Every structure is written in C-alpha cells, then in structure tokens.
Structure 1
Amino acid sequence: MSTDLAVAVDVAPTPWSGRDDGPGVEHLRWHHVVSLDPSAAGPDDVAFVGFRSDEGVRRNRGRQGAADGPRALRAALASMALPRRVPALDVGDVQVADGDLEAGHRRLGEAVSALLDRGHRVTVLGGGHEVAYGSYLGVSGSGLLRDGARLGVLNLDAHFDLRDEARPSSGTPFLQMARDEERAGRRLNYWVLGVSQPSNTETLFRTADRLGVRYLPDTECGTLDRYRVDGFVEEFLASCDVVHLTIDLDVLPAASAPGVSAPAAYGVPIEIVEHVCTQVAASGKPLLVDVAELNPALDVDHRTARTAARLLHRILLTCG
C-alpha cells in the first residue's frame, strides 16, 4: 500500500469471499476480481474504500449500527455474478472509533483524493451519511476539479441533511459542503431526489431554497413519474462536469430498506432509484459514489444490504 493510502486508511482490507461455481470467465463473481494490492491495480480499476462510522448518527440522535455497513455491503456484493471481468481494488477502511469524526473525514478525503488522482472509479462504503462530507473532501481535493470543472452533488435521500448544528453529524454534510464551496468562491451545485416533506422541517426547506438546492419530492418519484425523474436527472447532469452521487438508503421504501436509522414510510421505488443510478453512470462523466446508512443490526433477511449491493453492481457495470 502506498504511503498516502497507508496514512489515511486505518483498517487493512480483508480478502473477499463468496459462492464459487468453478473456473473461467463464465463463473465470475465480484469476489473473484477484487484485489487487495494497490501496486497491481490499473488506473481505471474500480476502487472500494470503507468508512466505519456511527459517530454522525450518534450526534444526530439516530439508531447506531452503520459502522458495520461496509462489512455487510462487501458480503452482499461479493457473490453477485459478473457478465465480464471488472478489475477492482479494495484499500480497506477509515474507522471512526474514538468519536473524532472530523479527523475521520480528513482521512477519508485523503484516501479518496489519492485514488481519484490515480484514475480509479471510487466507491465509498458507509457508514452513516456523514460519509458524504468525507467523500466531498476527496473529490474537492483531487485533480478532477482543476481547470474550472464543475462539481455536481446528487443526493438520493429522504432528507436534505442541511442541519445547522455546532458539531458535524449525519444531518449536516451538505451544509458543510455549501460552506466550503462558499469559502472557495463557488456555490454548491446540490440536487436531492426523494425528499420527504414529513421528514424535513420548514427551516430545512428554507435553507434549501436559500442555497439554491434543486429537489424532487418522493411523491413525484413514483413509477408513473419516470418522465419527471428523467428530466430532473438530465438537468442535473447538464449542470456539471464531475458527479458526486451519494445514496442514503433511507430514500427507499422500508420494505426494500428496513436496515437504516430512519426507515421510509413512503420512499422512492427501487426500480426508480436503480434507473437514476444507471442514468448517472451512463453519462460518462467522472463519478464518485458513496452509499450510506446501512445498519446490519436492523436489517431483515439482508434486504437492505442486497438492495445496496444491486445498486452498486448496476452503477459499476454501467460506467465500466
């Protein structure tokens, strides 16, 4: 492992394992293609990095357990069948075990920046949704935004996560981003698909309006609303050159994603969420993805982990 990643990542990667039906490309699954050796990885390889953190959820007074999300996501993805070889790398995890979320964000940002600057397509496995700010530090600190490239942040989420609080939490990452962008002389280009009105106070809606956030409510993201969803995503993609796609699994109905801190009573159907992920991945724009809020202790029949793994599977095959 190179010096920059060794400094940033706290927990070394462990081998992926899963079902094995025999040798040959016709039996490929994710666990067959994931390497743990950065020196052997090509610049275009998929790169996974985990963010083991419950601290943001704890500060936001949610149900803790998302620190085990990276482990469950890897396990769910490992046995998924591949139609072709997709070279991949796992560099391990950043761990927030001492309550120092701010330091965890910095380390995650350093790891993500290093991977992006090598040309990897990076997927961050959360962790609470505080992971999004660490991912943002990675893309904003990388070379992707040099020469005036425009960053766009698309959040699939029931919540704006724009809380104005004294300490960062899983409810604050996008306000943190907005303030960082303002300090850099830019305006955060932030879009949210799946916002739930009952889950966001009027203060949060006013904050979103003040920051120029574009959003589509969950009530306008049903299977009969695909034309509206397509238009929303097309407008988002036209507004940016580099995409940070952040998926909070509580955007999905509780039947698809019971294992989250705040299960959705309504939610956006899985077929719409997968369609959006595919649309973004097919755009050809540089893409950083993170997945948040998987809590294995609350999951039922591994539904949430399997749903999250399917979304990542679709994204990585589409943009690969």
Structure 2
Amino acid sequence: MTVATDVPSQPWTGRDDGPGTDTLRWHHAVRTEPRPGQAASARTVPDDGTETPDAALVGFRSDEGVRRNQGRQGAANGPAALRRALASMALPAPDQVWDAGDVRVADGDLEAGQHRLGAAVATLLDEGRPVVVLGGGHEVAYGSYLGIARSRALRGAARLGVLNLDAHFDLRDDVRPSSGTPFLQMAREEERQGRALNYWVLGVSQPSNTQRLFHTADKLGVRYLPDTECGLLGLERAERFVDAFLAECDLVHLSIDLDVLPAAAAPGVSAPAAYGVPMEVVERVCTRIAASGKLAVCDVAELNPDLDVDQRTARAGARLVHSVLTTRNAAVRPM
C-alpha cells in the first residue's frame, strides 16, 4: 500500500549532540521512507519483541482556503516551518515517526487537494498509524476528516468525536469551501451518512464569530467553551470539558488552529487573537487527548511563517506536535 502525496518529504536535519539514546532529537527519529520490507506495515519492533505502531506525518501545503476566506495568505509554507521547528526538539525516549511527504494545492483546486489529503490519511490510518497533519490553512481539517471517513477506523460502531481548538467555529455557509467552512462540510457529510457530527470547540471568541455562526452551532448541537473560560484559572473547567468529550467518542479528530493562542504566543497566523487561550491550557488539552488512546488524527493549522516573529508560532505549533506524539507514544510503549 502506498501513500499518494504530491511532494516527497525532504531529509530532516538539526542539532546533533553525539551518539546515544540520551541525545536524541526529532530529526534522528523521523524517517522519510517506509522501513525496508515494511512498506505496508505500520509496526516498529522494540528490543523486547513487542509491537507498537509508528505515527505518521503528512503536510498540506495550501493557501487557497485562506484566500477564499479573505485572510492573509502564507500558510502553504506552514508545514516546512513546523518541520524545521520540530527537528531539533529533544526526545524524552526513542521514538519513530514516518514523514510521508506533502499534499500541495498549487492550482486553486482546493477540493481536489482535500480529497488527495483524505486518501493519504485513510491509507495511513488503515496501516494502523495515528496521523499528524501539518497545515496549511484550516481547510486542512476537512481533508483530515475525509481520511477518517474513508478509513476502516469508522467501520462498526465506532463513534467519531471532533475537537477543535480555535477562536472560530469555522461553520460558515459559503458558496465555495474555504478555511472558514470545514466543520459545516463535515456536519453535512455526516448527515448524508445518517449520523450527527459530534463537534466540540474549545477557545471560541465571541467577537470573532457572528451571531449567525452561534445560531448555526446551536442548531448543530455543537458544544463549546469560550476563550474567557479557558484561562489558567479555568484549567480544571477545560479538563472537565475534554473529559466529557472523550466520554462520548471512540475515535478523536483533534484540530488545532494556532489562532486559538494569544497573539503574543502565536503572531504568525491570519487572524491573531486579542485574548486567546494560554499555551499551558492548550498543551494540557492536547496531552489529555493523546493519553486517552483514542486519537486518530491531529491537524495543526494556520501557521503563516511570513507573519511570524522570532519563529514563535512555529515553535508553539511544533511544541504541541511534540507533546501529542511523545504523550501518545508513552501511552502505547510497553512498560
């Protein structure tokens, strides 16, 4: 089985502190080719002979959704910036991740790009790999969803839950899909399949969403926690929100829009947050999801390196990817 991405991943490079498992960084752990003889296998065999599934990265190089949503373009360069920021981060334990390359939207055909991303994600999930998708505008979320919907993961009685960390609902009812429409697209597709979308949002900003969007959210049964209730003093409230979400699903699609963070932590996004949710809370939410064992796909959206300051946003996004993968891998690693 092959993963159909448009652009193969480039070799990872970064700081090297010498040999040994106690000096590992992400660029040591990321492979850009499947293991020899295991192109269709998702298994890494540790020294004790037990098997644990490798996670996979795939990039989505798209600005088209942001352009259609009248935002500031540049997110197509987000995947490369996230990889650079992640490469030299130190690993707490030996891990393996496969970078499957990028899906690129270069011709304005966003819909085709989302379907190519969906095909890549479905292949990786069917191999047993949890997937982290590096965006790209938030239109990446619909492509990630298409992958889950096409995979074997949703067969049977599995219940999908979608948790969006975002200042925006992204439930716009526009003529053309954009970075503002992915979750309404999901809701309509789920309805066509005879299901209701189990959609939760943490960090919604009232000034960033019209009353029409709040009405749409209410109509769809969306549960949300406003940014004003997600500060450090509201950490327990955020954790209860996540625990209630996890209790209602078997598989999780975690979507992280970096504009959920305060502008000081994430200036390099199309719409920086005047208020935002502190990094400490966002990271705690991400690790709680990763430790649950239910995470299927995590996507990271809206990093625009052209607007970033001192790589703050890239580093914040990479830190969240690092936290998700190391927490998830620790949860499945044999004791």
TM-score range, shorter chain: over 0.9
Alignment match, 1:28:
24
8 Å CA contact retained: 2:136, 2:302: yes
2:159 counterpart residue number: 150
Q: CA deviation at 1:207?
A: 0.1
* Deviation of the 1:271 alpha carbon: 0.2
Deviation digits for residues 10-30 of structure 1, max 9, x if unmatched?
Answer: 001100000001011011000
After TM superposition, the score normalised by the length of structure 2 is: 0.93
1:11 aligns with 2:20: no
Q: Is the 8 A contact 1:46 1:86 kept in 2?
A: no
> How many Å separate the matches in 2 of 1:286 and 1:98?
32
Could you tell me the TM-score, scaled by structure 1's length?
0.97
**Following the alignment from structure 1 to structure 2, what is the Cα–Cα distance between the partners of residues 80 and 35?**
16
Counterpart residue number, 1:67? 76
Whether contact under 8 Å (2:29, 2:97) holds in the other structure is: yes
Q: CA deviation at 1:227?
A: 1.7
Q: Does 1:80 align with 2:89?
A: yes
Matching residue of 2:50: none
Are the counterparts in 2 of residues 53 and 67 from structure 1 also a CA contact under 8 Å? yes
Q: Distance in 2 between matches of 1:285 and 1:93?
A: 25
1:141 matches 2:180: no
Contact kept? 1:113, 1:138, Cα under 8 Å: yes
**Could you tell me whether the CA contact under 8 Å between 2:190 and 2:196 is conserved in 1?**
yes
Give, as a single letter, the amino acid of the residue that structure 2 aligns with 1:187.
A
Contact 1:191 / 1:214 at 8 angstroms: preserved in 2?
A: yes
The one-letter code matched in structure 2 to 1:154 is L
Report how many aligned residue pairs link the two structures: 316
**2:253 paired residue number:** 244
For residues 58-86 of structure 1, the C-alpha deviation after alignment (integer angstroms, 9 at most, x for no partner) is 00000000000000000000000001111
2:283 counterpart residue number: 274
1:286 deviation in Å? 3.6
Give the whole-Å Cα distance in 2 for the aligned partners of 1:122 and 1:108: 11
Corresponding residue of 1:206: 215
RMSD of aligned residue pairs (Cα, Å): 0.9
Task: Give the distance between the partners of 2:97 and 2:307, measured in 1 at CA.
Answer: 29
Q: Any conservation in 2 of the 1:281–1:287 contact (CA below 8 Å)?
A: no
Give the SS at the match of 2:94: coil
| Whole-Å separation in 1 of the counterparts to 2:60 and 2:72 | 17
1:102-161 per-residue CA deviation (whole Å, 9 max, x = no partner) reads 000000000000000001121000000000000000011101111110000000000000
Q: Distance in 1 between matches of 2:295 and 2:226?
A: 26
Please tell me the residue identity of whatever aligns with 1:85.
P
* Alpha-carbon distance in structure 2 between the residues aligned to 1:90 and 1:133: 20
How many angstroms apart in 1 are the aligned matches of 2:236 and 2:195?
31
| Structure-to-structure mapping, 1:84-103, within 5 angstroms | 84-103=93-112
What's the counterpart of residue 138 of structure 2? Answer: 129
Cα pair 2:289 2:295 within 8 Å, conserved: no
Query: Structure 2: which amino acid aligns with 1:132?
Result: A
Identity of matched residues, %? 71
Matched residue of 1:247: which SS?
Answer: strand
Distance 1:46 1:298 in 2: 30
- 2 CA distance for matches of 1:110 and 1:263? 31
- Equivalent residues in 2 for 1:41-56 (5 A)? 42-43=42-43, 44-56=53-65
Match of 1:223 in 2: 232
Matches within 5 A, 1:112-127: 112-127=121-136
Q: CA deviation at 1:287?
A: 2.5
Q: Distance in 2 between matches of 1:190 and 1:265?
A: 24
What is the CA–CA distance in structure 2 between the aligned matches of 1:210 and 1:235, rounded to whole Å? 20
2:206 is aligned with 1:197: yes
Contact (CA 8 Å) 1:16, 1:34: kept in 2 or not? Answer: yes
Shift of 1:39: 4.1
**Paired residue secondary structure (1:193):** strand
- Asked whether the 8 Å contact 2:9–2:99 carries over to 1, the reply is yes
- 2:310 paired residue number: 301
1:37 and 2:46 matched: no
Match of 2:155, SS state, is: helix
Contact 1:94/1:107 (CA < 8 Å) preserved in 2?
yes
> What CA deviation, in whole Å up to 9, does each residue of 1:32-55 have, x standing for no partner?
011111244643111000000000
CA distance in 2, matches of 1:286, 1:206: 29
Give structure 1 stretches of 5+ with no counterpart.
Answer: none
Structure 2 segments unaligned to the other structure (5+ residues): 44-52, 330-335
How far 1:228 moved relative to its partner? 1.0
